[in-house]
Copies of this chain bind each other. A is one copy, B any other.
Amino acid sequence: MNARTKGQIHIIGAGLLGTSIGLALSNLNVDVSLEDSSPAVQSLAIDFAAGRQLSPEDNVSLVVVCVPPDVTATTIISALNRFPEAIVTDVASVKVAVLEAVNASSADSLRYVGSHPMAGREKGGALSGRPDLFVGRPWVITVEESTQEKAVNAVEMLALDLGATTMRLSAADHDRAVALISHAPQVVSSLLASRLVDADDFDLALAGQGVRDTTRIAASDPNLWLQILSMNSHQLLPVLKDFQKELDDMVTALGNVSGSGSLATLGNSLERGNLGIARLPGKHGTRNTSYAQVVVMIDDKPGELARLFNEVGAAQVNIEDLKLDHASGAQVGLVEISVLPASEEKLLATLRTNGWKLAG
């Protein structure tokens, strides 16, 4: 495959994102140089074949700044000055604060265009880098009135080379969107998980899939998220204040359940929850389809999943979603298979014929 990206790409910051970009571009035979403020990290990423060292006679066409959010703006400004012919982009998950700092500097900000690949892992660092990190993920490119098409194009070619789906948004629209669908869920998940810190072991023993799903992202890196939340506080605050207001109303209602209007308050919020989740786009960007779920018990040993999916595949039933759950205290797994409602009967018949034990 020929790369769309032309010329030499220079990556600043060899963490998870920088290393992954370097690996993917190197695989496409793009000339990649990289640097990191830590010489050890830089050597590691070069050993890892994510790129080569920068040399004085290099002619960089695009700089990709992949440093933590709190040093992104200063690194962009310095890059605009160090590479006077290059287009400069970054991958930070907050865009307005970075853009404002760059515009307020004396650097040639017309060569800067912000971007945000919606990819990542809970585990960071060069060693976690993977060339396919961005495949199938959205990559937002932030476009303002003053943004030059040439700069946007260069970043779009980069994102397409990495397998991402590009999307143009203003920095403000991007920050508003991620406040709602990423930053607020992070805060709420962390606050919910925080309730578990002092819980009794007995209480936690009853934990099911609900509390696990709602708290999963509470395991994310606090240092990174501290920067993200504080840099996007302006967009995050209205979302959290709406949440706070509705929570306050629920707490008041729960404090006086028999009071006039209390049940209506509780019921309204629960119903709004139904409406809200129905608005999330489903698989392949379409609306959520209501799937039929079938739960199968499997022995917790190699080969069982293979046998299960073999038989489901042989029956020509397409699996729309699946989840592995674990029966507490038992060496069995529960596999929840979601299929289109029209396929449910065929799936159940197949499973029964093959002797699988169905669970709830």
Binding site for B on A (CB under 8 A): 20, 118-121, 123, 130, 132-138, 140, 165, 167, 169, 173, 176-178, 180-182, 184-197, 199-200, 202-208, 210-220, 222-223, 225-226, 229-230, 233, 236-237, 239-244, 246-248, 250-251, 254-255, 257, 262-263, 266-267, 269-281, 283-285, 293, 295, 297, 300-319, 321-324, 326-332, 334, 357-360
Q: Choose among B182, B240, B278, B328 the residue that contacts A210 (Cβ–Cβ < 8 A).
A: B182
> In the complex the two chains form, is B297's CB within 8 Å of A317's CB?
no
Contact of A132 among B254, B324, B357 (CB under 8 A): B357
Q: Which 9 A-B pairs have the closest CB atoms?
A: A136-B327, A133-B360, A190-B273, A193-B276, A218-B273, A303-B313, A196-B276, A222-B270, A306-B313
A118 contacts B208, C-beta separation under 8 Å: yes
Q: Please tell me if the beta carbons of B230 and A263 are within 8 angstroms of each other in the complex.
A: yes
Whether the Cβ atoms of A297 and B135 lie closer than 8 Å is: yes
User: Chain B nearest CB: distance from A133 CB in Å?
Assistant: 3
- A134: B residues at CB distance < 8 A: 360
Q: Which residue of B lies closest to A283 (CB)?
A: B326
CB distance from A304 to the nearest CB of B (A): 7
| Apart from the given pairs A214-B216, A284-B331, 15 other A-B contacts in the complex at a CB distance below 8 Å | A130-B359, A134-B360, A184-B192, A187-B250, A187-B269, A189-B273, A194-B272, A195-B243, A214-B217, A218-B276, A219-B273, A222-B273, A229-B254, A236-B254, A306-B311
The answer on a CB contact under 8 Å between B360 and A222 is no
* Chain B residues, CB < 8 A from A118: 206, 208
Cβ contact within 8 Å between B194 and A208: no
Q: Which B residue's beta carbon lies closest to that of A133?
A: B360
Chain B residue at smallest Cβ distance from A192 = B188
Question: CA of A214 to CA of B194 in the docked complex: distance in angstroms?
Answer: 15
Contact between B233 and A279 (Cβ–Cβ < 8 Å)? Answer: no
Cβ 8 A contact of A194, one of B121, B229, B246, B267: B246
Q: Is the CB of A206 within 8 A of B194?
A: no
Chain B: minimal CB distance from A147 (Å): 18
Are B199 and A211 touching (Cβ within 8 A)?
A: no
- Asked whether, in the complex, the Cβ of A225 is within 8 Å of the Cβ of B135, the reply is no
Indicate which residue in B138, B257, B270 contacts A233 across the interface (CB closer than 8 Å): B257
Task: Tell me whether A330 and B195 are in contact in the complex, defined as CB-CB below 8 angstroms, given that A177-B206, A226-B267 are known contacts.
Answer: no
